[in-house]
Amino acid sequence: MTIKSLTLPQLFPRPKSSTGIWSWIGTVDHKRIGTLYGITAFIWFIVGGIEALLIRAQLASAENDLIDPETYNQLFTMHGTTMVFLVIMPLSAAFFNWLIPLQIGSRDVAFPRLNAVSFWIFLFGSLIINASWITGNAPNGGWFGYAPNSSTTFNPGMGMTYWVVGLNILGVASIAAGLNFIVTILNMRAPGMSMFKIPIFTWMTLITSILIVLAMPVLAVAGIQLQTDRVYGTLFFDSLGGGDPVMWQHIFWLFGHPEVYILILPAMGIVSEVLPTFARKPLFGYPFVVFAGAVIGFMGWFVWSHHMFTVGLGPAANTAFSISTMLIAVPTGVKIFNWLGTLWGGNIRLNTPMLFSISFIAMFTIGGLSGVMHASPPTDAQQQDTYFVVAHFHYVLVGGALLGIFSGIYFWWPKFTGWFLNEKLGIVNWALMLIGFNFTFAPMHWLGMDGMPRRIYTYAENMGWEGSNLAASIGGMILGLGILVFIINVFYSKMNKQIAGSDPWDGRTLEWSTTSPPPPHDFDVIPQVRYRDDFWFTKYPETISEYFHDDHDQAVPSGAQFDDHDHDPLVVSGGADDHDDDHGHGGIHLPDMSYYPFILAFGIAIFGIGFLTNTYIIGIGAPFFLWGLIGWSMEPVNDPE
Amino acid sequence: MHRVSKLSFPLRPALVLVVPLAIALLAACTPENNQSTFGTAGPIAADQASLFKFIFWIAAAVFVLVEGAILYISIRYRRRSDSDKRPYQTHGNDKLEITWTIIPILILAVIAVPTLTTIWAQQNNVPQDKGEVLNVEAVGHQWWFEFRYPDHEVVTANEVHIPVGRPVAFKLESSDVIHSFWVPKIAGKVDMVPLNNNFLWMIGDEVGTYYGQCAEFCGIAHAHMRFRVIVDTEEDFQAWISGMHTAPDAPIAGSPEASGKNLFAANCSSCHTTDSTTPGSYAREISSQQARWNGWISDIENSGIVSAPNLTHFGTRSTLGAGLKDLTQESLEGWITDPSSVKIGTRMQKHAAVYDTADGTAKLSPTEVSNIAKYLLSLKPGSAPSGAVVETGGNVDGAEVFATNCTSCHSTGDNKIVGPGLAGIGDQAGSRVAGLSSDEYIEQSLREPAAFVVDGFPAVMPNWSHLGDDSIDALVTYLKTLK
Amino acid sequence: MWAFLGSDVMFFGAFIATYLVYRGKSLNGPYPSEILNIPITSVSTFVLLMSSLAMVLGLHYVKEGQKNKGTLWILAVVVLGAVFMGFQFVEFREFAHEGLTPRTNLFGTTFFILTGIHGAHVTIGVIWMAFLAYGSHKGALRSDNALDLEIAGLYWHFVDIVWIVIFTVIYLISANDGPPAGIESILHG
């Protein structure tokens, strides 16, 4: 989109300083953007966690009146929304940003400024959603926003408008980031790194990004329809005007189920990196794991109605979606067995990242098994919208995604910072989290089977739910304590730095070949890739024959075989040109910093505020938006030197 | 160069993981709990529970296998001392991997077969070979359940009676947002979706009272939207149905119940019907309920009416406030005085004029509240069959006739319920139709309502001739006093 | 760009699906059969199709290095796109005049939002093309960086194709849609 030789006057001086707040606002460095994502998401994680603890405090005893129902509805709506959109997705995005260029041997992502704009839009979107707490109108219609309960008729406050405007803004950020990573992974791999030599985390990122790019527009459609319903009085989901509430569910879950895999696949990718490293063995059955991930990503589009088994779609639809849902358990099972195969016969070092990753398998298995139980519509009729489902998806998203992310944090922290997180505190952190997690969510299984519905702010004394609820609330506190230990660990380790070298864990992939932390340009020399786990085989060339001994098709490949035909010219644009001219020789060109992404995102944020308050405010956002857009397209990626 | 942890993994944390799970498993399975899905009392829930157990044991086996493997591998292959041994760098084993792709498929096929047969057995049509089918229409409202028996012309709320051993076909509807109809011990849930009627059949196997609860988030009082299913013997059920067609005995003049009846008529009757015992009252209640809804939706902020449960024979019920509390004089007084002390968010308090006070409690003295409660608790099938013309010997109280027969549709003020408000009707009636005096107009309206439907109102008013000449005359006299 | 278009396919797909699901379910008029003007919309559709042709020619000449012809054809794209938007604007105003707004009924809701979102895409395209035309005029767009134009062209053709789908589902297959069967029972049931 850049027309480089157009010379309009620079509307804004280019940021130059490399320290201070302006250096962060103007940054286009994927590592710094990753850090921004990580810190922001972690702050929202604490906010979402506090919301969860308040919920647990309210439910600790029967007929408790600590929190009134309106506030309670706001809390669980924001807890779900925050954890999904403001925590797990951006924490994954932090890893994508940090690791993808490092893992594929590149100096940055394909579109560094687009990357920056994604983050700023995400930041503003998350602020807009949470600003609702300050105005006293937090969303209260559930993170699923079911119509018609989310309409202005039944929900006249501003809460759900905040929710839908915020989600639409976040959607823009996610799509932009998703596009960026697809293009990066397809086009910017180091020479010789064919698709079946990229690290498994990169594969999972690619699949996740494709899912994001295809699923978020569906959410955007649902969001725009709900937004026009709420703001302009259209009739999409207005049952009084003939609009069908089931329509919302179809659109929302058509987005919502792929979203589940958007949340879990990055964690699976992290675990698939940690297990081989600490078992000191290659991932068992790499093609199977990749294929299983792709199959999950594909089949994730055909199971959405299992969220709707009780909506009354009829036995034929329930049969079809039941079968497709059960089938999706197969690739998931394959992954679990392959992870076990990876561990089998290894020399397993049980460091903190490994403990988290092994716990991931253990907990995710539980979540998967309970998932099979409500893949069966007759049993789901008793489980749908009960605490059994709450238990299930927390085993998948906390026991799965979150433990995986913590594993990744402990694993790559030395790479990000150059120093270790303390091992003893790490093990305390892990133990508290795992124990607290199980105490919180295991009892919810029997609560569900004992008939406790979700989203109720209180319950009667004679239902027999008090013991389990109290256990869950105590467990929640322990889990919170575990997170607290993590925060302490970060500060403790920062004060008592234990310096890590470039390759502290005896790693297998390219990111361990550069220094910790990596230089701004990532690699002094762009690596030439010959094998899967290239760095390992470079360190231990004598093991190459072990890996390839019974696989004659791949028999010890020699040298670079960069297949140019998947280098699609149409996707290269903008910032990709820092890659072409410099592997190993010549100067290193990095994209220069820019304020325009920030200005552009700011304009979009004003649009959002305009939808919430007064249409004229959208007009105020427009100049910022255009300024950002025009400034961006006129500004060359690099100033002439 | 390779930093390796000094801490090798101790075994104890593994036990820490297993112990809470084991304890929790022991605490599970409490079929005696009110909403347990295990202590089932009907074939639908029983089949769902046995299918669950079938899947559960398969899952348990997989669980033990996988978790056992994780523990075994983590211990067996953990690094001992400072060994820097490099394991054999195998890339995988295709045969093994294909095997463990196929095994889950087989397991899932085993689960899928009973799943599919159960789906088609439960979600298709009501079985016709298990006795005469009882039809019930259940309507979800924010935040209570309405139950209609179209075959018996009975309408009630929050407590549904069904006969033991007979299939009951529920037609599930919603008037506002999505609710979900769930009686864990008898049948798994099916949602009540506006514009999408759903069907659910069930059989209650054992006589008793079963708890039900709305399972789909439906707004501020979602937690307090509960109901009961009362499974009666066939005789009790028939008695209940005929009781629902028997008017209650009129309270003795001067009793607290009589005072409560008038207070109820004045303050509550525009939304709550208490007399759906007479022929035609079933259709009237349905259109009244629709009219209350229309009234509320057209002016959500200020509406004086709102959808409300039918209270016919309220004294026979066991709970109040949609299954919230045991029904006693005391609990009912508390509810009438300040509904939100029981159920935060209830619409009654917001829309009924009687609660238009600074602190939201009722504009009624404790005695008045007590009288209303006594009246409501006295509502039970009486000794006289309904519909019989009560001969009164010419001494009829028009206000009372109005309160018993007309208040579900007409207010004595200006607000519209189903029909127009009747304030000032005496003055207006004379000018309505040329040649008819106001007495004649009102009497004609009562005897031939279809002739004079006011524009904009549904033509649902029945013919009231059966009240008898004395009552009609008294009513006309009373109506003319309304200002 | 292909990835972005894939994303946009999902976006329009969901809107079109909504339209199709709600087709013929409006509870009150005006219904499509009473309001759609197919001959006029056919003309505007033709205009948009011609703009795609202009796009192809513009790209061809830019790649050939014939600056002026390239500029001219890109400018033609801009003009034709703007004419299309003009048609849409007039159509919207006409409908509003006849009593169909997004709030009137489900047809109004789905029609305005779907065609409106498409119109927004066309508008973005027109602005983008105007930039490129200016760039081409200034000599900044040359055969060696014709990729910029090719990407924009891809977008333009995509928007054009989406319109053909929209034209088919809204104007051709639902042209005769009136009130839904059994509307009486829906309204009074």
A298 has pLDDT over 70 = yes
Question: Where residue C131 sits, what CATH number does that domain have?
Answer: 1.20.120.80
Residue bearing tokens 């066991």: B318
Any chains having at least 3 CB pairs less than 8 A from chain A are: B, C
**Total CB pairs under 8 A between chain A and B:** 356
Instruction: Parse chain B into domains and list their residue ranges.
Output: 32-78+125-244, 250-386, 398-480
A500 has pLDDT over 50 = yes
C105/A235 CB distance under 8 A: yes
pLDDT score at B394: 54
Q: Which residues of B touch A431 (CB under 8 A)?
A: 13, 16
pLDDT score at B17: 58
Measured between CA atoms, the residue of chain B closest to residue A142 is B217
pLDDT score at A2: 41
A463/B51 CB distance under 8 A: no
Q: Which residues of A touch C1 (CB under 8 A)?
A: 570-571, 573
What is the SS3 assignment for A484-522? HHHHHHHHHHHHCCCECCCCCCCCCCHHHHCCCCCCCCC
Euclidean distance between the first and the last CA atom of chain A, given in angstroms as a whole number: 22
C103/A224 CB distance under 8 A: no
The H-or-E segment that residue A365 falls in is helix A352-373
Q: Which residue has the higher pLDDT, B191 or C150?
A: B191
Q: Which residue has the higher pLDDT, A589 or B156?
A: B156
In the 8-state DSSP scheme, what is residue A637? S
Average pLDDT over residues A238-250: 86
Model confidence at A405, in pLDDT bands (50, 70, 90)? very high
A557 has pLDDT over 70 = no
B3/A365 CB distance under 8 A: no
Domain B398-480 adopts which CATH fold? Answer: Cytochrome Bc1 Complex; Chain D, domain 2 (1.10.760)
Measured between CA atoms, the residue of chain B closest to residue A501 is B1
DSSP code string of C95-132: HHHTT--TTT-HHHHHHHHHHHHHHHHHHHHHHHHHHH
CA angle A415, A420, A422 (to 5 degrees): 150
The boundaries of the domain holding residue C48 are 42-99+112-177
Q: Which residue has the higher pLDDT, B438 or B101?
A: B101
pLDDT score at B430: 74
Pick the closest to residue B449 from B467, B439, B429, B464 (CA basis). Answer: B464
Instruction: Mean pLDDT check: name the lowest of A74-83, A435-444, B249-258, B325-334.
Output: B249-258
A11 has pLDDT over 70 = no
pLDDT score at C183: 53
In the 8-state DSSP scheme, what is residue C65? T
- CB-closest option in A315, A333, A377 to B124: A315
Pick the closest to residue B445 from B455, B437, B453 (CA basis). Answer: B453
Instruction: Mean pLDDT check: name the lowest of A306-310, A433-437, A573-577.
Output: A573-577
Q: Which residues of C touch A633 (CB under 8 A)?
A: 131
| Residue C27 resides in a domain | no
Average pLDDT over residues B177-204: 94
pLDDT score at A177: 92
A51 has pLDDT over 50 = yes
pLDDT score at A575: 37
- How confident is the model over B456-470, as pLDDT tens digits? 665 556 667 666 777
Which residues face A620 on adjacent strands?
none
The answer regarding whether domain B250-386 maps to CATH 2.60.40.420 reads yes
- CB-closest option in A69, A286, A468 to B344: A69
C92 has pLDDT over 70 = yes
The H-or-E segment that residue B226 falls in is strand B226-232
Given a contact cutoff of 8 angstroms between Cβ atoms, the answer to whether C110 and A243 are in contact is no
A577 has pLDDT over 50 = no
Any chains having at least 3 CB pairs less than 8 A from chain B are: A
Q: Which sign does the torsion angle of CA A391, A392, A395, A397 carry?
A: negative
| Residue C84 resides in a domain | yes
CATH of B32-78+125-244 given 2.60.40.420, 1.20.1440.230, 3.30.70.260, 2.40.50.140: 2.60.40.420
Residue bearing tokens 């120093």: A419
Measured between CA atoms, the residue of chain B closest to residue A316 is B120
CA distance to A164, A288, A297, A434, B57, per residue, from A332 (Å):
32, 11, 11, 22, 20
- CB-closest option in C27, C110, C151 to A573: C151
Q: Which residues of C touch A243 (CB under 8 A)?
A: 22, 106, 109
- How confident is the model over C106-162, as pLDDT tens digits? 888 888 888 888 988 888 888 888 888 888 887 777 777 777 788 888 888 888 888
Cα gap A136→B234, rounded to integer Å: 54
pLDDT score at A356: 96
B414 has pLDDT over 80 = no
What ipTM does the predicted assembly reach? 0.88
Domains B32-78+125-244 and B250-386 are alike in CATH topology: yes
Q: How many domains does chain C have?
A: 1
- CB-closest option in A218, A241, A570 to C105: A241
pLDDT score at A555: 44
Measured between CA atoms, the residue of chain A closest to residue C145 is A3
B119 has a chain A CB within 8 A of its CB: yes
B167-174, strands of its sheet edge to edge? B154-157, B144-149, B134-141, B167-174, B198-203
- CB-closest option in B73, B89, B324 to A547: B89
Instruction: Mean pLDDT check: name the lowest of A197-211, A378-392, B109-123, B464-478.
Output: B464-478
Q: How many CB atoms lie within 10 A of CB A196?
A: 11
- How confident is the model over B138-155, as pLDDT tens digits? 999 999 999 999 999 999
pLDDT score at A5: 38
- Cite the beta strand spans of B58-204 per DSSP E: 134-141, 144-149, 154-157, 159-163, 167-174, 179-183, 187-192, 198-203
Q: Which residues of A touch B29 (CB under 8 A)?
A: 446
pLDDT score at B422: 81
CA distance A121 to chain B (A): 31
Q: For strand B226-232 and strand B159-163, is the pairing parallel, antiparallel, or unpaired? A: parallel
Q: Which residues of B touch A546 (CB under 8 A)?
A: 88-90
Q: Which of A429-443, A540-554, B22-36, B380-394 has the highest mean pLDDT?
A: A429-443
Which chain B residues in 325-384 lie under 8 Å from chain A, judged by CB atoms?
A: 344-345
Counting every residue written for chain C, the total comes to 189
- CB-closest option in B90, B196, B220 to A281: B90
C11/A217 CB distance under 8 A: yes
CA distance C49 to chain A (A): 23
**Three-state SS at B211:** strand
- CB-closest option in B79, B91, B193 to A347: B79
pLDDT score at B386: 46
pLDDT score at B168: 95
- CB-closest option in A4, A234, A572 to C103: A234
| Residue C5 resides in a domain | no
Q: Which residues of B touch A385 (CB under 8 A)?
A: 180, 189, 215-217
Cα gap A215→A375, rounded to integer Å: 22
Question: Helices A352-373 and B43-76 meet at what angle, rounded to 10?
Answer: 160
A390 has pLDDT over 80 = yes
Cα gap B19→A203, rounded to integer Å: 37
pLDDT score at A583: 40
Q: Which residue has the higher pLDDT, C26 or A413?
A: A413
Q: Which residue has the higher pLDDT, A34 or C63?
A: A34
| Residue C51 resides in a domain | yes
CA distance A344 to chain B (A): 6
C103/A235 CB distance under 8 A: yes
Any chains having at least 3 CB pairs less than 8 A from chain C are: A
| Residue C18 resides in a domain | no
CA angle A477, A478, A482 (to 5 degrees): 115
Measured between CA atoms, the residue of chain B closest to residue A74 is B220
Q: Which residue has the higher pLDDT, B176 or A590?
A: B176
Which residue of A1, A2, A3, A8 to mutate against C (max C Cβ within 10 Å)? A3
Which residue of B32, B105, B217 to mutate against A (max A Cβ within 10 Å)? B217
Average pLDDT over residues A567-572: 38
In the 8-state DSSP scheme, what is residue A583? S
pLDDT score at A4: 40
A572/C26 CB distance under 8 A: no
Pick the closest to residue A98 from A411, A400, A398 (CA basis). Answer: A411
**Three-state SS at B12:** helix
Contacts of C189 (CB under 8 A, 6+ apart): none
Instruction: Mean pLDDT check: name the lowest of A109-118, A257-266, A624-633.
Output: A624-633
| Residue C19 resides in a domain | no
pLDDT score at B238: 95
| Residue C16 resides in a domain | no
Mean pLDDT value across chain A: 87
For the purposes of burial, counting CB atoms within 10 Å of the CB of A191, is it exposed (0-12), middle (13-18) or buried (19 or more)? middle
pLDDT score at A553: 47
- How confident is the model over A326-383, as pLDDT tens digits? 999 999 999 999 999 999 989 999 999 999 999 999 999 999 999 999 999 999 999 9
